[in-house]
Every structure is written in C-alpha cells, then in structure tokens.
Structure 1
Amino acid sequence: MPVIEPADGHRYTTSGLGRALAVIDLLAERSPDMVGVSTVARELDLPKAVAHRILKELTANQFVTFDEGTRRYRLGSGALAVGLAALRAIDVQAVTNRHMRRLTEATGETATLSMRQGWVRVYTDQVLSPHEIRMSVTLGSRHSLLAGSSSKAILAALPDAEVAEYLAGHELVPLTAATITSVEQLWADLRQVREQGYAVSQGERQAGAASVAAAIRLASGEVYGSLSLCGPQNRFSPRLLAEYGDLVADAARQVSAELGYQPAATPAPAEPEQGDRRRVARRQAARSTTDQSESSSAEVVVSQK
C-alpha cells in the first residue's frame, strides 16, 4: 500500500485510517499548541479539503477539540482516554529490563534500575554481571539523591528550583572520601551531567565502585528514576566511563520513548491562516525597500562577530 512520509519522519499508509493517525500524531507533537487546517495539510502533504474532513471526523468523536475563536485544533478528551489506557498497560520494569540485559551483555557489568520516591531513590531491579567479581545492589534499599551516579542522574534531570529546594533541606554528608560535599561542586557536576547526558561516580557512594547512569522519564516528563551500569572501579577506565555513559544514556532515551516521553521540540513557526496572509504580505512589502538598503551593512556586522 502507498505510504506518505511527512517531515517528522513517521510513515503512514494513505488509507483513511493512516491519514487520521497521522493527523493525531501531528497534533500530539505540537501539543499544547493548537494547529490550523493549513498547517496540518502542509505538514502531512494532504489536500486541505482532506485534512479538514479528517479533523471534523476526529472532532465529532472527541479525539480533537476545535476552537471557534482561533479556528484551530488540539487533542481532545477521546485522545486523553486512549493515552491513559496505554499508560496503564505499560510495565516500566519489563520495558527497562530488556535494555538492562542488553547493556550487561554489551559491557559485562551489572545494570540497575532505580525509582525515585520523593527525595530518595530505591533500587527496584538489576541484571548481574557475569564476572566472578562484580557489583550487586540490595533491591528495595533507599538512597539519597546526593551521592552516586544513579542519584545524580535523577537530581540533574529535575528543574533547578527543585534541586535548590532539595539542597536547602539536605546536608551533603560524606559517605566515602570521594563524596561531593560542596554545594558549588555538586551544582557544577549536575551541569556537566545535563550537558553530556549521563552521570559518573567513582567511589562516591561506595568505595571501590564506579558507575554511570542516566535519567528515565515518563510520558508526562516526570522523572521516573535512573538506569545505571556499575562495577569495580578498576574496570572503569576513563575511556570506558565515557563509552558506557553513552550506552546508558542511549538506553535511557529508548526506555523513556517507550514509556511515551517525547522531548520538547523547538516549535515551528505557525503558518498564517488565510485571514492573516494579507496582513503579512503588506508588512513584507512595506519592509522590502528598507531590507534591501540595509542588507550590505548587516552582512558587514555579521562578518565582524
């Protein structure tokens, strides 16, 4: 069956159902922004009449809501009900365990899953290393968010205001000689975690142990917990820390995607609807002479920066 492949990279059949799913997916990606018929037609390469008919049908079935004032659409209560049902059917631990097994097979080290519970995290699953000398964790044990890669990955994924609130009410107590005990140093470490996508620990929570970890998010964007690889510190060279960190970060991204999380995309400029196009054209015409006269000086300014 023929398919269409819009700019978002998803592929849909050209059947009526395929087109309707494409429209729903586009509205989900643009949420919470509302989208007009022209934008839907352009993004999915559909005739405007077809896009309008699909949106009307989805609106009639409450999958989509129409705003009379703006003449734009967004997802409705029907889509919410289906989404919540899908979330209830997801087994986070089962989804994550598949990726943990792959990580252990690829690296030979123990993979762990931690779940955030308020201001602590709890180990909920692990896949043990096949090595005779290996790391293992106590499932159900609770740990602060201050020391170790699994903790720092969760903390770094929280908004700055929550991090500041946590640090204001919790003392940085050293667990080992390597534990970070300076608030300034911890903030610097958290910024690095955000930049590189994973956290690193070399003996911070447990002497002689090393680990890398990355945060897992739910569909809502809430931080569920973290995924990690851990083992004896002498097996985690700087090169392997970076290599394993990338593997864990990629696995955490895949898990988050399977749980429904979609990173916020840079919003595309909204296409002017028919009523706005004439005003846009008039403004562009009024600026054209000025733009031409200033173009050469603008180029000089850019080249000097």
Structure 2
Amino acid sequence: MSAMNSAEPPKEPMAKAPRGTSPVATAMAVLRCFSPERPVLGVVEIAEEIGLHKSSVSRMMSTLEAEDLVEQDPLSKKFRLGLGLLSVAGALLANLDVRRAALPVLTELTERTGETSSLVIWDDFAAVIVEQVPSANPIKHATELGTRYSRVEDASVRVRLTALPEDERERFFTATPSSRAAYRRLTANDADGIAVNDGDTTPDEVGIAAAVHDHRGRLIAAILLAVPRYRVDQERLSHLVGDCRAAADDLTRALGGPPAQRVKLVD
C-alpha cells in the first residue's frame, strides 16, 4: 500500500456535461467521470460533476449496471467501472500483456485436450473471460468474451478466493453469506491453485481452473478448461487437471514467475 501524502493533490478537471439529452451522451459523460485517481464514485459526485440531477444519474447508473459497464459496491453503494466494458472494447484487450502471452498457451492446451480453454482475470471477486480458444468439437462449451462468473461453485472464483487472505475472503462471505457452506464443501477437493467444477453450476459441464502468477508471485489470472461432462470420467479428469496445471505453469513462466509460487497469497 502506498504511503499517504499530506499535500493536497491537484484537482481533476471536471468531466464535460453531456450535450443535449441523448442517453448515449449522458452515458459517456458518466463513464468519463471515472479515472485511475478516482476509480470509485457515488451518484451525488457524478451528478455534481456532469451537471445533472441525481435522479437522472441514478437511473443511468442502473442501466449501465445492467449492462455490466459499471458495478455497485454492496456496502458503500458507490460505483466503479465494470469489466463489461472489455466485451465491447476488443482492441483494448490486445494491449493486456497477460492476454497476449496467454493466447499461444491456450491454443496449445486446446489442441492437446480437444476442449475449450480460456483466460480469466478478476474484477474483485468475479472471474471474467478475456481470451478464449474454442474446441473444434461440434459439442463443446464456449462463452463470449466478458462473461463473468461470481459463484463459489465456479472453479475460477474459488481459485481467487482460496488465494486471498482470510479477511478479504470474509468480505466476500459478508456480501454472500449463503456461499460459505458451499465454499467449505467444495474446497475440500481443491489444492495447489487448482479447482474443479464438476457439474456444480451446469450439470452437463466440467470446469477446471488453474492459477497463474506474475514475476512477483501475485495471482493475476487463471486458465480455465470447459468440457462437456459426458466426455469426462475420473481417469480423463485427472489428465485434464494435469494439462490445465501445466498450461498455467507455462503462462506463469512466460510472465517471469516460477510455478512454485502458485500458492502465494494475492496482495
């Protein structure tokens, strides 16, 4: 965590008010209020900045939230940008180093297993697909870029939760108390940055997620295999887990991190 600076930071320039009454102009004005310096904003703050009544901003925030373009913190009720923006900004994804490094790894994993492989990164506790190589099989599991997973039954979500310090994990359970029992039950079979969703969210699908770390040993992503359940018995599941783990290790090495750091806690 960076040290506090006693000097007052320079004020950010105010966002431009929307021109006319176009909903698109209003939405863009709202989204431009957010910045690295001010990633979290309340309705009143946004309304004051763009010169609209807070009721109008509140309605717009509800629309943007429904489209995953913003998301609301359940405790503070303030908003931040959502990773749904990535699903309409494909060019932006090309600039993510982890995504570029992951594509050849995912391609090789899909060729080796014959199944759909994906890269997920996290938006707080949710896992978001930012790259995917679909299976060539006519029957397969594939999803759109920007798809979000947020339940403990999802393998990639458990990879994230398990690596968190206990106090951070408790924040998730405070917001979703009914998830605690499922998490305890499912993580009994998770180990070493690997989690398996054996039909827990979709009866006909098996999901396998493996943690990816950067050069500092921080958990930054996961590789996810999605397989039709009818193609998976215990022997093949064991092989798929090994393949997914090996791919995650390859990507971790490509990012400069040793695979042994897989179990380190995230910051």
Task: Place the TM-score, normalised by the shorter chain, in its bin.
Answer: 0.5 to 0.7
- Going from structure 1 to structure 2, the CA distance change for 1:90 and 1:116 (only over 3 Å counts) comes to closer
Instruction: Choose the corresponding residue for 1:235, options 210, 231, 234.
Output: 231
Instruction: Choose the corresponding residue for 1:192, options 189, 192, 198.
Output: 189
Equivalence map 1:119-134=2 (5 Å): 119-134=125-140
* Identical pairs, percent: 25
Q: Distance in 1 between matches of 2:101 and 2:252?
A: 9
Q: Distance in 1 between matches of 2:185 and 2:221?
A: 21
1:127 partner amino acid: V
Compute the displacement of 1:145 (Å): 4.7
What SS does structure 2 have at the residue aligned with 1:194? coil
Compute the displacement of 1:118 (Å): 0.9
Aligned-CA RMSD value:
2.3
Give the structure-2-normalised TM-score: 0.57
Residue deviations 1:45-69, cap 9 Å, x none?
A: xxxxxxxxxxxxxxxxxxxxxxxxx
Q: Distance in 1 between matches of 2:248 and 2:261?
A: 16
Gaps of 5+ in 2: 1-94, 263-267
- Going from structure 1 to structure 2, the CA distance change for 1:205 and 1:138 (only over 3 Å counts) comes to farther
Aligned pair count reads 167
Instruction: Choose the corresponding residue for 1:153, options 159, 183, 206.
Output: 159
Q: Distance in 1 between matches of 2:215 and 2:127?
A: 19
Q: Is the CA contact (8 Å cut-off) linking 2:129 and 2:148 kept in structure 1? A: yes
Equivalence map 1:17-32=2 (5 Å): none
Compute the displacement of 1:192 (Å): 3.3
Gaps of 5+ in 1: 1-88, 173-180, 266-305
Deviates more, 1:138-147 or 1:127-136: 138-147
Compute the displacement of 1:252 (Å): 0.7
1:252 partner amino acid: A
Q: Distance in 2 between matches of 1:103 and 1:249?
A: 10
Compute the displacement of 1:171 (Å): 3.7
Q: Report which of the two has the higher share of helix.
A: 1
Q: Is the CA contact (8 Å cut-off) linking 1:217 and 1:256 kept in structure 2? A: yes
Residues 1:162 and 2:168 are matched in the alignment? yes
Q: Distance in 1 between matches of 2:254 and 2:213?
A: 10
Residue deviations 1:208-266, cap 9 Å, x none?
A: 1112110112223322121011121111111111111111112112211221224459x
**Residue 251 (structure 2) aligns with:** 255
What SS does structure 2 have at the residue aligned with 1:250? helix
Compute the displacement of 1:184 (Å): 4.0
Q: Distance in 2 between matches of 1:188 and 1:205?
A: 14
Give the structure-1-normalised TM-score: 0.50
**Residue 212 (structure 1) aligns with:** 208
Residue deviations 1:18-58, cap 9 Å, x none?
A: xxxxxxxxxxxxxxxxxxxxxxxxxxxxxxxxxxxxxxxxx
**Residue 97 (structure 1) aligns with:** 103
